[in-house]
């Protein structure tokens, strides 16, 4: 992926405004859930490395026209290489890991490491992060995101955890560059009961909110 292509991926992520975080105990289920999310209009998909055969899931999803496939829970430079080779176009990490940031930059893919405190956010940004994942957002809320943006206005922040159709706008109002939607959207109870149509409807709900948002 060239630097130009990398910037295109960043622009696409920003325009999407949402990423579905895929966690499942089975590769086929993860793929089916991803397809349900895509049907609902959320095109950016983060396949976490905790999914069994995550590489296979990424490769299958990367072949779908219009899907923006990334890797999550990436902790090492070697995993960055594996994920990019499997078709990942962006990298998420739950931590501020220099090896992950450096290798992602070397492979010309957007990288979004995780941080919580102002010091961690600034450290990740100075390492070369394209955006910084604020995790766990569910414990901190939109107000914390807004507080971070006070002294660090130039760093694009990506809250992750606890985001739903009821508070998505609050996070956007607080300055979120991108929203990561996990357990509410990719809900384990709905998955286990095969109610993928309801996951599609949740994706549609978020898509409508994002498309209507004017902030």
Q: Which of 205, 145, 147 is nearest to 18 (CA)?
A: 205
Q: Using CA atoms, how far apart are residues 67 and 86, in angstroms rounded to an integer?
A: 14
Q: Using CA atoms, how far apart are residues 182 and 186, in angstroms rounded to an integer?
A: 6
Name the active-site residue from 4, 78, 133, 201.
133
Q: What is the DSSP string of 120-186?
A: HHHHHHHHT-SSEEETTHHHHHHHHHHHHHTT-TTS-EEEBSS--TTTHHHHHHTT-S-EEE-TTTS
Q: Using CA atoms, how far apart are residues 209 and 161, in angstroms rounded to an integer?
A: 18
Residue 133 is among the residues annotated as catalytic for this protein: yes
CB 205 within 8 Å of CB 184 = no
Name the active-site residue from 8, 46, 105, 177.
46
Q: Within a 13 Å sphere around the CA of 187, how many CA atoms are in the beta-carbon half?
A: 17
Which residues are CB-contacts of 210 (< 8 A; sequence separation ≥ 6)? 16, 17, 18, 168, 179
Q: Using CA atoms, how far apart are residues 189 and 5, in angstroms rounded to an integer?
A: 37
Q: Catalytic positions, please?
A: 46, 133
């Amino acid at each position: 992926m060239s630097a130009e292509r990398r910037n295109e991926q960043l622009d696409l992520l920003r325009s999407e405004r949402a990423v579905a975080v895929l966690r499942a105990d089975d590769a086929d289920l993860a793929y089916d859930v991803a397809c349900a999310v895509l049907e609902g209009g959320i095109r950016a998909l983060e396949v976490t490395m905790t999914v069994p055969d995550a590489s296979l899931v990424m490769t299958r999803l990367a072949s779908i026209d219009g899907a923006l496939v990334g890797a999550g829970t990436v902790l090492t430079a070697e995993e960055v290489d594996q994920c990019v080779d499997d078709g990942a176009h962006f990298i998420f990490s739950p931590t501020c890991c220099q090896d992950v940031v450096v290798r992602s930059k070397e492979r010309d893919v957007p990288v979004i490491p995780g941080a919580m405190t102002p010091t961690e956010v600034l450290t990740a940004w100075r390492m070369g992060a394209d955006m910084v994942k604020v995790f766990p957002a569910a414990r901190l809320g939109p107000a914390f995101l807004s507080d971070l943006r006070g002294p660090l206005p130039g760093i694009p922040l990506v809250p992750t955890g606890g985001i739903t159709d009821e508070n998505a706008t609050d996070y956007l109002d607080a300055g979120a560059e991108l929203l990561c939607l996990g357990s509410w959207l990719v809900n384990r109870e709905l998955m286990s009961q095969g109610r993928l149509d309801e996951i599609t409807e949740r994706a549609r709900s978020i898509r409508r909110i994002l498309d209507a948002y004017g902030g």
